[in-house]
Amino acid sequence: MFEKSADKYKDRPRVIVVEHLSKQFGDHVVLDDFNLSVFKEENVVVLGKSGSGKSVLVKCIVSLLKPDLGSIFVLGEDISTLNDEELDALRMKLGFLFQSNALYDSMTVRENLEFPLLRYDKSLQKSEIDARISEALANVGLEHTLNMMPAELSGGMAKRIALARAMILKPEIVFYDEPTAGLDPVTAREIDALILKMKRKYHTSSIIISHDMECVKHTSDRVILLLEGKCYTQGTYQELEQSTDEKVKQFFESEM
Amino acid sequence: MSMQSLINGSKQFFNETGNIVKFSNRFFVVGTKPGSEFKELLVQCYLIGYKSLPLVGLTGFIMGLVLTMQLRPSLVIYGVESQLPAMVGIAIVREIGPVITALIFAGKIGSSIGAELGSMRVTEQIDAMEVSGINPYKYLVATRILSTTLMLPILSILADAISLFGAYIGVNINSVTSFSLFFTQVFQNLDFYDILPAVIKTFFFGFAIGVIGCYEGFNSKKGTKGVGRAANSAVVLSSVLVFVIDLLAVQLTDLMGFN
């Protein structure tokens, strides 16, 4: 079903390959023999009900959680075989936008952005750091927040700063965990636009977790529906929107 | 209590103990690797050591004063009031100074580390660090454990000094004793083996407080309730550990003939 949806990207290298991934917590099976490939510069949206294992999936991919079974290859590397240093080096090529933003609340905006930069390359000069921070803030249109604390930012501003931080190392893959959750529709669409802007500017591949169907519509190249721990179906937004399958229709009808 | 709950409780205890030992072992693996977070270590030494000085100093002063005032009547009864500086000196340097300082430190620093790391855990700040390729154990935990291990002995020595000054004031409430006479009497009755074990054990107190505070915070779960629990457990567990380490230290120094 919906095989044509990957046509545009299928000749490109795969940046993420998940094979037969299983994860359970106690008796609760969250992911069950799940498979996924993400191609270079492709935006894949993982759609699913709350508690369906979407966040668990991305946390397994970035190795915040260890899978029970299966293998995960990120940028060609099997993450289960990497030691701590190799994993840290790989993670520097990844960006992660958390649902809660996860800004370091004891640091200013500048320090939040500076923190990964200083550890990424200790030889960076102050002028280079300043330039990278200015570029990151200009990308999200919040240059004036440089010396503000996270507590002083609105929800939308905090999300943008978190996005700027996720992009500061110019990652090859970005993970967006519910990027528009808790935002008003106007701000949510601004975040959608920023996600697309980052893709165009830095040629990133992304996995976006969302059940905001507007966000799915605007940002996805391919949508994967995660149900009962498995990939139930996948395709472009338009393909899924026209589906007659009751379980797929539920997501689109609830939006209308 | 049923047998099953006793077994479950024991299992949980040994599991938790094993996890704490594993967590503290990581300190020696991660903390000794090159590329240490020296700047963060200095920041933590300032926050943990320097910022604790007023509280430790105040409690030390009151401790010395009260101890002297409480001891005096008993010594007067036996006609050995002149031994007051010596007794107070030995009690403070060998036992009361290090233990009370460690308990105050556990209350102030253990809870603050537990709450800070716990809050960072539940707001995904630690995860954010991890996915940026920054080792949170190295940045957050190793620096805090090293700071508590280094700062508590210094604070304890300062608390001893302030406490002895408090004792000097206490002695002078009911009699007149010169500063030099008081401290001559104190130091005449102290020897190297009174001071050395007392200082050494404070390194262990500091290490235990740092490890427990970081462990509880780093492994905090279940939202804000978990943060509160982490702060609380950090204080309770590290205070108990201070007494356990003190007991072991006394036994050890006894065996080695230092008592």
Query: Domains of chain A: which residue ranges?
Result: 3-255
Coil/strand/helix, residue A52: coil
Q: Are A227 and A247 in contact (CB under 8 A)?
A: yes
**What are phi and psi for residue B20, nearest 5 degrees?**
-65, -40
Gap between the Cα atoms of B82 and B204, Å rounded: 35
Which pLDDT belongs to residue A2?
44
Contact B132 A102 (CB under 8 A): no
A98 touches chain B (CB under 8 A): yes
Q: What's the rounded mean pLDDT across residues B1-17?
A: 86
Chain segment A154-183, per-residue pLDDT in tens: 988 999 999 999 999 899 999 999 998 888
Residue B35 pLDDT more than 80?
no
Contact B124 A98 (CB under 8 A): yes
Chain segment B148-187, per-residue pLDDT in tens: 999 999 999 999 999 999 999 999 988 888 999 999 999 9
Residue A92 has its nearest CB partner, among B120, B128, B133, at B133
Chain B residues in contact with A169 (beta carbon < 8 A): 132
Contact B135 A169 (CB under 8 A): no
Residue A4 pLDDT more than 70?
no
* Residue A85 tokens, joined: 């240093």
Gap between the Cα atoms of A153 and A159, Å rounded: 9
Residue A10 pLDDT more than 90?
no
Give the mean pLDDT of chain B. Answer: 91
Cβ under 8 Å to B: A residues 122-161 = none
* Residue B84 tokens, joined: 């007051």
- Around A229, how many Cα atoms within 13 Å sit in the side-chain half-sphere? 13
The two beta strands, A69-74 and A77-78, are antiparallel
A62 touches chain B (CB under 8 A): yes
Cβ under 8 Å to B: A residues 207-246 = none
Does the domain at A3-255 match CATH 3.30.2020.30? Answer given as no
What residue segments make up the domains of chain B, in order of their start?
49-255
Contact B131 A89 (CB under 8 A): no
Chain segment B37-58, per-residue pLDDT in tens: 888 899 999 999 999 999 999 9
| Residue A255 or residue B5, greater confidence | B5
Coil/strand/helix, residue A177: strand
Q: What's the rounded mean pLDDT across residues A236-252?
A: 85
Torsion of CA A52, A78, B221, A166, to 10 degrees: -90
Coil/strand/helix, residue B218: helix
Gap between the Cα atoms of B98 and B159, Å rounded: 8
Give the mean pLDDT of chain A. Answer: 88
Which pLDDT belongs to residue A3?
46
Gap between the Cα atoms of A37 and A13, Å rounded: 10
Which pLDDT belongs to residue B110?
94
Chain B residues in contact with A116 (beta carbon < 8 A): 132-134
* Residue B24 tokens, joined: 């503290």
- Distance from the Cα of B239 to chain A's closest Cα (Å) equals 28
> B223-255 and B192-218 helices cross at what angle (nearest 10)?
160
Residue from A110, A145, A136 nearest A201 by CA: A136
If you write DSSP's letter for every residue of A107-121 in order, what string do you get? S-HHHHHHHHHHHH-
Residue B123: partners with Cβ closer than 8 Å, 6 or more residues away: A100, A102, A105
Q: To which residue do tokens 């009361």 refer?
A: B96
Long-range contact list for B40-48, CB < 8 A, 24+ apart?
A: B40/B139, B40/B143, B41/B143, B41/B146, B41/B147, B43/B143, B44/B143, B44/B144, B44/B146, B44/B147, B45/B147, B45/B150, B45/B151, B47/B147, B48/B109, B48/B144, B48/B147, B48/B148, B48/B151
A88 touches chain B (CB under 8 A): yes
ipTM for this model: 0.86
A82 touches chain B (CB under 8 A): no
Residue from A68, A53, A70 nearest A16 by CA: A70
Residue from A57, A71, A67, A77 nearest A15 by CA: A77
Chain A residues in contact with B133 (beta carbon < 8 A): 88-92, 116, 119-120
Which pLDDT belongs to residue A1?
44
